[in-house]
Each structure stands twice: as C-alpha cells, then as structure tokens.
Amino acid sequence: MLVGLGGAIGSIVRFLLSLCFLNAVPWVILSINISGGFLIGILARLLESMECGETLKAFWIVGFCGGFTTFSTFGYDFFNFIRSDQFTHAILYVGLSVAGTILAVFIGYRVFS
C-alpha cells in the first residue's frame, strides 16, 4: 500500500514538473532522474539507522522515488534523439543520465556521513 501511494505521488510530481518545463523535454527528465538519485541517496542514509526505516523506505525510496524517476521515459527520449539523427545528443544524454544519477545517489548518501 505504501509503495503504491508513494509511487502515485512521485508520478504526479514528475508529470507536473514535465508540464512546467515542456520546452525542456527531454532535459527535464534528466534533471528529474538526477535529483531523484540524489534524494534516494539522502533517504538511504537517513533511513539506515531508523527503527521504522523499512516502512519509510517502502514509501519514499521504492514508491515516491520509483514513481518520480523513470527509466522508460529515459529510453523514449533516447529513442527520439536517435530517430531524429541527433547522435551526439543521444550519447550525451545517456552518459549524463547514467553517470549523473549514480553520482547524485553517492553525493546524496555522503551528505549525511
């Protein structure tokens, strides 16, 4: 139940942000994925030591962040770059998405070390 509720809220927030930045697609998805990775890092660190950490992790990390960030939209944006022969943008988008999100998780986790 918590995962579903968190996922619904995260998806709605992602959708609203994408509406606010319509002219920035697909870069808004890149920003969402990186900021979501940062948030996951922070939450993972904060929830490690909490007694109810697993319950909160289900809502926030698996639910909210899982709904907020999206790999399928990332794939679709990459496909659209390739389809429109923007190969440099496609490679840049993949590199920044993967490296940026992983780095954001690491930095988010380290913020509270």
| Tens-place pLDDT, residues 53-86 | 789 999 999 999 999 998 877 888 999 999 999 9
C-alpha distance from residue 106 to each of 4, 40, 55, 86, 109 (Å): 26, 9, 22, 30, 5
Task: Tell me the per-residue pLDDT of 8-33, one tens digit each, with 9 for 90 and over.
Answer: 999 999 999 999 998 888 899 899 99
Answer for the pair 69, 32: CB distance below 8 angstroms, yes or no. yes
- Could you state, in order of their start, the residue ranges of all structural domains in the chain? 2-110
> Which of 72, 65, 71 lies closest to 7, judged by CA?
65
State phi, psi for 69 to the nearest 5 degrees: -90, 160
Q: Which tokens sit at 79? A: 């496909």
- The whole-model pTM stands at 0.82
**Rounded Cα gap, residues 107 and 99, in angstroms:** 12
Residue 85 gets the label, from left (phi > 0), alpha (psi -120 to 50) or beta, of left
